[in-house]
Amino acid sequence: MQVTISSGNNINGTLVLPLFEGGEALPEIVEGIPNALKSQINRVLADGDFKAKANATMTLAGTEGGKAMLVGLGKAEKADTHAYREAGATVVASCKKVHGNELTVVFHNTDVPCMTSFAEGMMLRDYSYDLYKKKDEDETNLAARINCSEGDATALSAAIDRAASITSGVHLSRDLGNCPPNDLYPMAFAEKAEQWAKQYDNAKVEVIDYEAAKRHGMGGLVAVGMGSSRKPCMVIFTLNGDQKGQHPMLVGKGITFDTGGISLKPGAGMDEMKYDMGGSATVFGTMEALASSGYAGKVVAITCMAENMPAANAQRPGDVIKTLSGKTIEVLNTDAEGRLVLSDGLWKAGTDYDPEYIVDFATLTGACVVALGHEATGLWSNDDDFRTRIHEAGNDVGELAWPMPLLPAFEKEMTDSKIADTRNLGAGRYGGANTAAAFLKQFVPNRSDDEDAEQITWAHMDIAGTYWGAKSNKMVGHGATGIHVRTMVRLITGE
């Protein structure tokens, strides 16, 4: 969707009018609305037929003055940027044939951040995944214009351009997540990443293929991926690699399909396991958002790509594998595969680079969905202040990440193997999201080899409940949500 701005009063296509609950009749200052339409609007407001409750809409048509869609922002004192973002998304979700392809948004009593949020909500929601459907002949793209004062025009235009760039990263994450698993396998993801890097002079992608992964001793990645004819790989994205000094580091779980392996999952809903590469999509989408919005700092991201299949050459429960870190893992359940591929990704991130911090993303556990539903991502960190920063960055952009405990008792549970350094399964099913996080912590390196060296600042985000199926997420209609691209942009750029 193209969003442009205009400092005139002209209305093209359907008028979109965001309104406060309990507001009065349209003030005279809302200029440019034809009288016939204005009196129709004032009539529904006066009669109480449209109360402007948050995310309510009403379409008016049939007068000579043109068409309008009223959208509620809720009470004025509560209408923050989140309310505007949701209202913008609601408008796009409610668009039907009758509204045509052109919208003109007219605000009153609004500042630039709220107008930007509204535009962002419209852009985020304007997405559908129809690559595999017959083309609809008369389908055209929505275009929206925002009328604003001359004084706001420059700032609003720059802010909307930035939001459009970030939206391209969110939509890329969704495209990857929604792509069927027969077409999105590990090396297909790697090829998409290589293609992507060609657009940017300051972006680089390196692929560690199956043979190289075996040579390097990436035992976790290899064990999970070897049972599939589509072999595993690791993809490393670098943005502004010539910048010196410490930099943010992202790591993503990229299981392009999770059957469970020999510990096969039950059949119902197994198709949803195509989304098990959501962590890698979050990371890739974040790199796109940063690159396309012109971020100048250095960021490195690693995605651990594998397809978890049962096969004659698949790993088995009972196997002991040796990871890149040198630590061994007793594989007690092949369905706990995300932590195995991440063990190599986290170790590589902390030893081959000099990260200020590492954040990993993974659709890691069903237990996290049990704990938090689809409303919040689980968030663990070895640094309380850092965890708070991520929690706040998420709140700022309307993507909730909820603090969860990283406890020594959970770590103990995961190192209690009779024959290996660690085990990939907890003692029972309780606290399954926490034991998974504690397992990952074993593979976050220290800052140096000194005995008293600190562990690298690290956070783990379990997006099993939020990467798809989050019905209350107004920014998306169906499928992958593309969550946390915006959280990461906020954390990394501070904007």
The residues, ordered by sequence, that sit 6+ positions from 333 with a Cβ below 8 Å of its Cβ are: 263, 317, 424, 425
- Does residue number 255 form part of the binding site for Zn ion (CB under 5 A)? yes
**How far is CA 8 from each of CA 12, 29, 158, 365, rounded to the nearest angstrom?**
11, 13, 18, 52
Closest contact distance (angstroms) between CB of 57 and ligand BES is 33
Residue 66 or 278: the one with the smaller Cβ distance to ligand BES is 278
Residue 171 or 274: the one with the smaller Cβ distance to Zn ion is 274
- Alpha-carbon gap, residue 33 to 46, rounded angstroms: 17
Residue 56 or 336: the one with the smaller Cβ distance to Zn ion is 336
Considering the candidates 75, 204, 214, 265, report the single residue annotated as catalytic: 265
- Does residue number 258 form part of the binding site for Zn ion (CB under 5 A)? yes
Closest contact distance (angstroms) between CB of 235 and Zn ion is 18
Active site residue 339: yes
Write the DSSP symbol of residue 466: T
- Alpha-carbon gap, residue 4 to 15, rounded angstroms: 14
Closest contact distance (angstroms) between CB of 182 and ligand BES is 18
Residue 357 or 468: the one with the smaller Cβ distance to ligand BES is 468
- Alpha-carbon gap, residue 342 to 221, rounded angstroms: 8
- Does residue number 276 form part of the binding site for Zn ion (CB under 5 A)? yes
Which residues, listed in sequence order, are joined to residue 6 by a DSSP beta bridge? 147
- Alpha-carbon gap, residue 232 to 186, rounded angstroms: 6
Closest contact distance (angstroms) between CB of 441 and Zn ion is 19
Q: Which stretch binds Zn ion (CB under 5 A): 269-277, 340-348, 423-431, 435-443?
A: 269-277
Residue 67 or 274: the one with the smaller Cβ distance to ligand BES is 274
Q: Which does 369 bind (CB under 5 to 8 A by kind): ligand BES, Zn ion, none?
A: ligand BES
Q: Which does 366 bind (CB under 5 to 8 A by kind): ligand BES, Zn ion, none?
A: ligand BES
Say if residues 300 and 245 touch (Cβ distance below 8 Å).
no
Say if residues 104 and 65 touch (Cβ distance below 8 Å).
no
Say if residues 264 and 351 touch (Cβ distance below 8 Å).
no
**How far is CA 471 from each of CA 259, 318, 373, 479, rounded to the nearest angstrom?**
24, 38, 11, 10
Residue 299 or 425: the one with the smaller Cβ distance to ligand BES is 425
Residue 217 or 366: the one with the smaller Cβ distance to ligand BES is 366
Q: Which does 414 bind (CB under 5 to 8 A by kind): Zn ion, ligand BES, none?
A: none
- Alpha-carbon gap, residue 363 to 462, rounded angstroms: 6
Residues in binding contact with Zn ion, number by CB under 5 A:
6
Q: Which does 333 bind (CB under 5 to 8 A by kind): ligand BES, Zn ion, none?
A: ligand BES
Q: Which does 464 bind (CB under 5 to 8 A by kind): Zn ion, ligand BES, none?
A: ligand BES
Closest contact distance (angstroms) between CB of 424 and ligand BES is 7
Closest contact distance (angstroms) between CB of 274 and ligand BES is 11
Q: Which does 425 bind (CB under 5 to 8 A by kind): ligand BES, Zn ion, none?
A: ligand BES
Residue 186 or 398: the one with the smaller Cβ distance to Zn ion is 186
Say if residues 236 and 212 touch (Cβ distance below 8 Å).
no
Closest contact distance (angstroms) between CB of 317 and ligand BES is 10
Q: How many CB atoms lie within 10 A of CB 411?
A: 18
Active site residue 265: yes
- Alpha-carbon gap, residue 162 to 159, rounded angstroms: 5
Q: Within 156-215, which residues bind Zn ion (CB under 5 A)?
A: none
Q: Within 332-351, which residues bind Zn ion (CB under 5 A)?
A: 335, 337-338
The distance in angstroms from the start CA to the end CA of the chain is 23
Residue 464 or 480: the one with the smaller Cβ distance to ligand BES is 464
Q: Which residues bind ligand BES (CB under 6 A)?
A: 258, 276, 333, 335-338, 363-367, 369, 425, 432, 464
Closest contact distance (angstroms) between CB of 233 and ligand BES is 18
Q: Which stretch binds Zn ion (CB under 5 A): 65-73, 257-265, 393-401, 429-437?
A: 257-265
- Does residue number 307 form part of the binding site for Zn ion (CB under 5 A)? no
User: What sign does the dihedral 325-326-328-333 (CA atoms) show?
Assistant: positive
Helix-, strand-, coil-residue percentages of the chain, each rounded to 5: 40, 20, 40
Say if residues 372 and 465 touch (Cβ distance below 8 Å).
yes
Closest contact distance (angstroms) between CB of 267 and Zn ion is 15
Alpha-helix residue ranges (DSSP H) falling in 100-256:
112-125, 150-178, 186-197, 210-216, 219-225
Considering the candidates 192, 339, 387, 423, report the single residue annotated as catalytic: 339
DSSP H or E stretch at residue 205: strand 203-208
Amino acid of residue 224: V
Q: Which does 59 bind (CB under 5 to 8 A by kind): ligand BES, Zn ion, none?
A: none
Say if residues 465 and 377 touch (Cβ distance below 8 Å).
yes
Say if residues 375 and 398 touch (Cβ distance below 8 Å).
no
Over its C-alpha atoms, the chain yields an Rg (Å, rounded) of 24
Q: Which does 293 bind (CB under 5 to 8 A by kind): ligand BES, Zn ion, none?
A: none
Tell me the residue length of the chain. Answer: 495
- Does residue number 411 form part of the binding site for Zn ion (CB under 5 A)? no
- As annotated, the active-site residues are 265, 339
Residues that bind Zn ion (CB under 5 A): 255, 258, 276, 335, 337-338
